[in-house]
Chain A
């Protein structure tokens, strides 16, 4: 039972409550750094580290932090993890750090992270909080990667820098420019909403059939 509970917290972030496609949070890094798959994954990993670290600490100290100063405490915790991620990336992968530029420090302002602390980590036991953070960050990473992969394949004819098409492929340069981010995100959101609509329709049909049958 306990196992199922934490599994449920993990899975909901990946799919049902996906932070990007369903909650539409974290749009700023989503549109800005998804011009290649590598950048998207680096951003996703940095966010994962920050979110899991902060959720863990916030949940551990949830009874110690007075609620009047909780938001300030959350921000201090988040900012510390972001600084650690920033310097680590700069030391280990300077090229990726240069590409991501100002968007690493801006993880502090990602409402997905503060939102999870306020809505979940500060109210639930540590194990659940970490699972929730892993799920949400996993969902965010997945969303960043899908956008980054689509944009890199169409805009550069490559994935992770490996050419996919022959020389005759003319890259859609617009896809790696800002409009490409909006276009791709729009199409993906459209798909998610269509999927949800179809699912609701299907469930309604099933309910009706059951009522008719009984």
Chain B
């Protein structure tokens, strides 16, 4: 440091110090805005694609979707839901007829929040698909909630009435029973509980079967609201 100190003026004025930092901050700010603006379209498109893929996965036979929210006592279509507003997705087939809802839910798992999406047919009162969007469950045990095909398959025709019950593996007898994963009972039960809670929260707000909002923008609409 002594060699360097000799080269520089003994004590630069405070103005110079402030200016150096201000310029560094300004350049840095501009660079960050630049990269944010450049990557934003790709990031938004990625997120929309991921959501669409998940919705199409949990609702078989769906080819269009739109976001739905509960406002003023009924379910309405919104192009762009408000931030933090609970939202569900309506899935529609090629003719534009309503098929079912894709409902996002989240709750505590064994380690951290589990976020999932499940497909729900209101007429049949059945869950027809489940996809884990986010989880930090134990690798090798709890992560079977999305890696174990048998467990995920349990959610392909599951009655929600009176409610879904997680039972010991191999003892599922009713169509509202889910075989738990051996060694990951807490994670299995968490998934079931999240679906039950989400269903209970929305059940009263969903319109009677047959009166769901029609697909706006026609069947060609990709439903991303863009």
Q: How far is the CB of B140 from chain A (nearest CB, A)?
A: 4
The verdict on B25 contacting chain A, using a C-beta distance below 8 Å, is: yes
Contact check, A77 vs B28: say whether CB atoms are below 8 A apart: yes
Contact check, B32 vs A76: say whether CB atoms are below 8 A apart: no
Q: For A66, give its contact among B8, B35, B46, B47 (CB under 8 Å).
A: B8
Q: How far is the CB of B197 from chain A (nearest CB, A)?
A: 25
- Of A140-148, A170-178, A193-201, A205-213, the one contacting chain B is A170-178
Which residues of the other chain, A, contact B182 by a CB distance below 8 angstroms? none
Which residues B175-225 have CB closer than 8 A to chain A?
Answer: none
Which residues of the other chain, A, contact B46 by a CB distance below 8 angstroms? 91, 94
Q: How far is the CB of A153 from chain B (nearest CB, A)?
A: 14
Which residues of the other chain, B, contact A88 by a CB distance below 8 angstroms? 35, 39
The verdict on B78 contacting chain A, using a C-beta distance below 8 Å, is: no
Contact check, B35 vs A83: say whether CB atoms are below 8 A apart: yes
Q: How far is the CB of A39 from chain B (nearest CB, A)?
A: 12
Q: For A90, give its contact among B20, B24, B43 (CB under 8 Å).
A: B43
Contact check, B32 vs A83: say whether CB atoms are below 8 A apart: yes
A77 to B29, CA, bound (A): 10
A65 to B12, CA, bound (A): 10
- Of A11-19, A44-52, A67-75, A159-167, the one contacting chain B is A67-75
Interface of A is mostly: helix
Which residues of the other chain, A, contact B138 by a CB distance below 8 angstroms? 173, 177
A144 to B19, CA, bound (A): 39
Which residues of the other chain, A, contact B36 by a CB distance below 8 angstroms? 87
Which residues of the other chain, B, contact A77 by a CB distance below 8 angstroms? 24, 28
The verdict on A127 contacting chain B, using a C-beta distance below 8 Å, is: no
Q: How far is the CB of B38 from chain A (nearest CB, A)?
A: 8
In the complex where A73-B20, A91-B46, A177-B138 touch, is A84 in contact with B31 (Cβ < 8 A)? yes
Which 4 pairs, one residue from A and one from B, show the smallest C-beta to C-beta distance?
A173-B140, A91-B39, A91-B42, A80-B28
- Residue positions of A touching B, CB distance < 8 A: 35, 63-69, 72-73, 76-77, 79-80, 83-84, 87-88, 90-92, 94, 122-123, 155-156, 171, 173, 176-177
Given contacts A66-B17, A84-B35, 13 further A-B contacts (CB under 8 A): A35-B139, A63-B8, A67-B5, A67-B8, A72-B21, A73-B24, A76-B28, A87-B36, A88-B35, A91-B39, A91-B42, A173-B138, A177-B139
